[in-house]
Amino acid sequence: MEDHPKVSVVIATYNRARFLPETIESVLKQRFRDFELIVVDDGSTDETREVLRSYGDRVRSFYHENRGPSAARNLGIRQARGRWISIQDSDDLCTADHLEALFGFADKNPGLGMVFGNGAYLGGPEHNRETIIPEGKSRRLAQQGVKLVDLFDKSIVRLQAALISREYLEAIGGLDENLHICMDLDLAFRLFMRYPVTYLDRVVFLYRKHEGNIGRNQELRLLENIRVIEKLLREFPESRDLLGMRRIAHRIAYRYYRLAKGRWKAGDRGGAREAIRKATSICPFSLKYRLYQLRWI
């Protein structure tokens, strides 16, 4: 293992012993070889430590008490020796050309803060498409460049598909440790507003959908999404002009509407009424939100 590899691959894991070996193998089998692999065990209570020990010095492993994925990834980033950081989930798979494609692009385009690509679904098509970013949009992003509105309208950045400058990642303070799901969107916003971000029209990872996906917590996802948007507006006031206040209002109001419906379905009537009230206050002329508010009085 190189003392100063070009890339540090960081995996944070929590109780994913049944998926972790396949993920690690997908990294170790990369065609690009100038990398190190760091795995941070975020306080697992399953056989994760035994899995990691089986890899010997092929994996640099660290352990800390459970603090969430962002804190675990930040620990891995602090231990990294590479100039570029690749953050992988412990249940997804890298394609064999993952690092070759992303590093090859970054190496030919100095000054980048981040380059990211596309992902496919490990279990076959989802939402009537093969890839996470639809093919047409993927081509457009590569040809025309990434704009803030692209990141805002749809959360297109997956950390598993990205290669990030360690210098710039450290300069912005790493990942927000208060976030458990929407750290991808938050990091993409903060990098985009400070440094060049570009897109590569290529599938570089395979997403595994299963019951343990943390992203299935829809209540937390929606709340964090709202917080991340509010953080963007607070830290980068110029984003209001880049996006337009109408677009921002509609996005936040829709998140509150989705939150309200989820809470009502779960039997949280008071929480549902509060969320739909917020949606209506943001978009007071929305007939749909008004009707739900009246229905739930």
Here the CATH number for the domain that contains residue 270 is 1.25.40
Confidence of residue 214 (pLDDT cuts 50, 70, 90): low
Cα–Cα distance measured from residue 163 to residue 148, given in angstroms and rounded to the nearest whole number: 18
β-bridge mates for residue 9, sequence order? 37, 86
- Give the per-residue pLDDT at 2: 56
**If you count DSSP H runs as helices and E runs as strands, how many of each does the chain have, helices first?**
13, 8
Task: Please report which residue ranges of the chain form alpha helices under DSSP H.
Answer: 20-28, 48-53, 69-79, 98-108, 135-144, 148-153, 166-171, 183-192, 218-235, 239-243, 245-265, 269-282, 287-295
Same domain for 167 and 99 = yes
Residue 258 in any domain: the answer is yes
Cα–Cα distance measured from residue 63 to residue 126, given in angstroms and rounded to the nearest whole number: 35
Angle of the 245-265 helix axis to the 287-295 helix axis, nearest 10: 30
Cα 261 from chain centroid? 25
Same domain for 250 and 186 = no
Same domain for 113 and 19 = yes
- Give the per-residue pLDDT at 123: 77
Of 180, 212, 244, the one marking the end of a domain is 212
Residue 100 in any domain: the answer is yes
Same domain for 88 and 38 = yes
Closest CA to 199 of 252, 229, 242, 162: 162
- Give the per-residue pLDDT at 221: 95
Each residue of 29-84: pLDDT tens digit?
999 999 999 999 999 999 999 999 999 999 999 999 999 999 999 999 999 999 99
Assigned token pair, 211 = 């019951």
Cβ atoms of 94 and 26 within 8 Å: the answer is yes
Same domain for 200 and 266 = no
Cα R_g (the chain), whole angstroms: 20
Host domain of residue 177: 7-212
Closest CA to 229 of 180, 182, 266, 191: 182
Same domain for 60 and 199 = yes
Same domain for 281 and 202 = no
Residue 183 in any domain: the answer is yes
Same domain for 266 and 138 = no
Residue 233 in any domain: the answer is yes
Confidence of residue 231 (pLDDT cuts 50, 70, 90): very high
Cα–Cα distance measured from residue 254 to residue 229, given in angstroms and rounded to the nearest whole number: 13
- The fraction of the chain above a pLDDT of 70, given in percent, is 97
Same domain for 225 and 207 = no
- Give the per-residue pLDDT at 291: 96
Q: Does the pLDDT at position 160 exceed 80?
A: yes
Q: Does the pLDDT at position 223 exceed 60?
A: yes
Each residue of 261-294: pLDDT tens digit?
999 999 999 999 999 999 999 999 999 999 999 9
Same domain for 95 and 66 = yes
- Give the per-residue pLDDT at 103: 98
Residue 2 in any domain: the answer is no
Same domain for 146 and 60 = yes
Each residue of 76-130: pLDDT tens digit?
999 999 999 999 999 999 999 999 999 999 999 999 999 999 999 987 777 778 9
Of 212, 231, 247, the one marking the end of a domain is 212
Assigned token pair, 29 = 């089998």
Strands 7-13 and 35-41: parallel
Of 193, 212, 231, the one marking the end of a domain is 212
Cα 180 from chain centroid? 10
Residue 108 in any domain: the answer is yes
Domain count, the chain: 2
Residue 1 in any domain: the answer is no
Burial 18-37 (b: 16+ CB within 10 A, else e): ebbeebbebbeebebeebbb
Same domain for 205 and 226 = no
Residue 267 in any domain: the answer is yes
CATH number at residue 176: 3.90.550.10
Q: Provide the whole-model pTM.
A: 0.93
Helix, coil or strand: residue 38: strand
